[in-house]
A = this chain, B = another copy of it.
Amino acid sequence: MKTNINKLKEKITSKGMKFTHQRLVIYRSLCDSKDHPTADMVYNQITEENPSISKGTVYKTLESFVNAGILQKFRDDMGLMRFDPVMDTHSHLYCNESSNIRDYKNPDLEQLLNNFFKENQIEGFEVEEVSLVIKGKSK
């Protein structure tokens, strides 16, 4: 746990950014939650123990984390921005019933897709990045 904090501090300060209480709290909230929360969810979660952190700060902090390569962000079906502390490329499983979003990583699948687009060039388009949206239900 301490290690993670030190790593975070290093990541932050190495980018010339300042290490603040707010940033620590926000980052920890993201790591604790497995649900790829929105800025608003993070705000509601941390506000219980840290009532003085403002919503604007949460938005700005999450954005700087993304810029610093500490978080990834993506849009969900509702158009909400989701934040993800897992930085390597992976897909997401969207549960149609609970609207939960789980991580899914499969190197074979990545390989399969890379090969496919290497072999099947698209007329007038150069593929740079392919990601999967997997919908279904968790059981």
Contacts and interface: CB of A to CB of B under 8 A. Distances in A.
Contact of A93 (B120, B122, B133, B134): B122
Interface string A92-136: 010110000010101011001000110010101111111111111
A128 B122 contact: no
A139 interface: yes
Task: Give the number of copies in the complex.
Answer: 2
A136 B128 contact: yes
A126 B78 CA distance: 21
A119 to B, nearest CB: 10
A106 B127 contact: no
Q: How large is the interface on A (under 10, 10 to 19, 20 to 34, 35 or more residues)?
A: 35 or more
A86 interface: no
Contact of A128 (B80, B108, B130, B137): B137
B106 A120 contact: yes
Specify which of A93, A106, A116, A134 lies most central, judged by the most chain B CB atoms within 10 Å of its CB: A134
A77 interface: yes
Given A75-B75, A75-B79, A136 B129 contact: yes
A44 interface: no
A120 B108 contact: yes
Contacts of A120: 106, 108-109
A126 B112 CA distance: 21
